[in-house]
Structure 1
Amino acid sequence: MTDEDVARPTSHYPPADITPAQFESFVADLLWSAQPDVDDLKVTLHESITGVDGTYDFDATIRYQLAGMDFLVLVEAKRHKNPIKRELVQVLREKILSVGAQKGVMISTAPYQSGALNFAKTHGIALVTVTEGRFTFESRGANQPPLMTREEAWEKFRVPTFVGHCYGPGASPNSTAVTLVSSKDTERVADLLLAFPQAS
């Protein structure tokens, strides 16, 4: 497998059928959902920040306090059809260093190439892909039922229309942890998107 190949863990589920407005709403709701678990959470969409080498526009920023210290997380949201390349994650890392942020998060409608995933795990950047909640339920058997509609998934399982999968370093070397995230899992969102895990 090369760096340009799609990382299999990030392409397990089909991409969401999501409009630009729905995508922006999903991202904002996901980020705001950490509010019960951190102090003084502030999410700003479309913010410009001046760093040591220029001014950058971010899809979102997250500010909060922990143990009396201020933290800044930068968020890039990519509504793409093609897999996300390593270069895009590298650019986010450069922006983190330039503006003095503590962490970066990339949320995408497309899977990530292997090089992008490996780079993100090495540098503690959280990667998220967006899919539909109904896709996370699979039926196995000779006579498979048709795919549930969004409404059926909500009525039967209370599954949100859109959910994310977050990717980070796994428990063993060179492995990847995959965790389902949604705005209903406030503690998980805070742990995965705001905390600063050790790089692999």
Structure 2
Amino acid sequence: MFSPIQDICWELTPEDFERYSLDVLSEQTKNLENLVIEHDKIVTATDGNYQIDGYIEFSLMGVTYKTLVECKHYKSPINREKVQILHSKIQSIGAHKGILIATSNFQSGAIKYATEHGIALIQLTEAMSEYQARSMIGIIVASERKPFNFGKPYSGVLIGSNEQGSFTCSYLGKNNTALEKFIKD
């Protein structure tokens, strides 16, 4: 896994982290029609009100799609339970997709659950930083490239798993449409 963001990230308030995360998503989804991104939205469902860190809505071929975004400004790895809570919100609200963005890495159970339930996991990592990767079964091995985000301090890495059960990662950037494809599918 990628090393969690260093101490400089903790200078960000939780609200600043949420806004930065939504800025990263805004860059990734700017080609979507009638795109609306809201921060700290209260969504009413039949079973109550839900506070959502970020809410994305867009139109595709006349259909409006909703994506819920949860941001975790944590030092410890994200466990499966956090992903399950987001999945429950998606079901209650009737959203189509979910995205969980974190400063820390994700436990393997969280990655597996998210992959099976159509939830994108994004780990923010410091742009242009050196990091070490361990090559072990079930551990993401980073390429030799350094995360780059056009002068911004942090870069996003889309975490997932493939059909063989191996973990995958994809740096988010201006030329990478992996997140946009995920939201549309």
Alignment TM-score, normalising by the size of structure 2: 0.80
**Higher RCO structure (Cα 8 Å, ≥6 apart):** 1
Match of 2:158 in 1: 166
List aligned pairs for 1:30-179, cutoff 5 A.
30-135=24-129, 158=150, 160-170=152-162, 172-179=163-170
47 and 74 in structure 1: CA distance in 2 versus 1, 3 angstrom threshold: same
Q: What amino acid is aligned across from residue 179 of structure 1 in structure 2?
A: S
3-state DSSP of counterpart to 2:77: coil
Q: What amino acid is aligned across from residue 106 of structure 1 in structure 2?
A: L
Per-residue deviation at 1:137?
Answer: 7.5
Per-residue deviation at 1:62?
Answer: 0.0
What is the CA–CA distance in structure 2 between the aligned matches of 1:89 and 1:36, rounded to whole Å?
25
Match of 1:4 in 2: none
C-alpha offsets along residues 134-179 of structure 1, whole Å, 9 cap, x if unaligned? 12678xxxxxxxxxxxxxx98xx95532101111232x32122210
Structure 2: unaligned runs, 5 residues or longer: 133-146
3-state DSSP of counterpart to 2:36: strand
Q: Which has the larger radius of gyration?
A: 1
Structure 1: unaligned runs, 5 residues or longer: 1-10, 139-152
What is the CA–CA distance in structure 1 between the aligned matches of 2:30 and 2:78, rounded to whole Å?
31
Larger helix fraction of residues: 1
C-alpha offsets along residues 61-101 of structure 1, whole Å, 9 cap, x if unaligned? 00000111000000000001111111110010010000000
What is the CA–CA distance in structure 2 between the aligned matches of 1:47 and 1:127, rounded to whole Å?
20
Q: What amino acid is aligned across from residue 177 of structure 2 in structure 1?
A: E
Alignment TM-score, normalising by the size of structure 1: 0.75
3-state DSSP of counterpart to 1:82: coil
Are the aligned partners of 1:120 and 1:127 in contact in 2 as well (CA < 8 Å)?
Answer: yes
Q: What amino acid is aligned across from residue 13 of structure 1 in structure 2?
A: S
Are the aligned partners of 1:60 and 1:74 in contact in 2 as well (CA < 8 Å)?
Answer: yes
Per-residue deviation at 1:185?
Answer: 4.2
Matched, 1:180 2:171: yes
What is the CA–CA distance in structure 1 between the aligned matches of 2:51 and 2:71, rounded to whole Å?
12
Are the aligned partners of 2:28 and 2:172 in contact in 1 as well (CA < 8 Å)?
Answer: no
What is the CA–CA distance in structure 2 between the aligned matches of 1:55 and 1:25, rounded to whole Å?
21
Q: What amino acid is aligned across from residue 180 of structure 1 in structure 2?
A: Y
What is the CA–CA distance in structure 2 between the aligned matches of 1:34 and 1:181, rounded to whole Å?
7
167 and 35 in structure 1: CA distance in 2 versus 1, 3 angstrom threshold: closer
What is the CA–CA distance in structure 1 between the aligned matches of 2:24 and 2:130, rounded to whole Å?
18
Per-residue deviation at 1:188?
Answer: 3.8
Q: Name the % identity.
A: 31
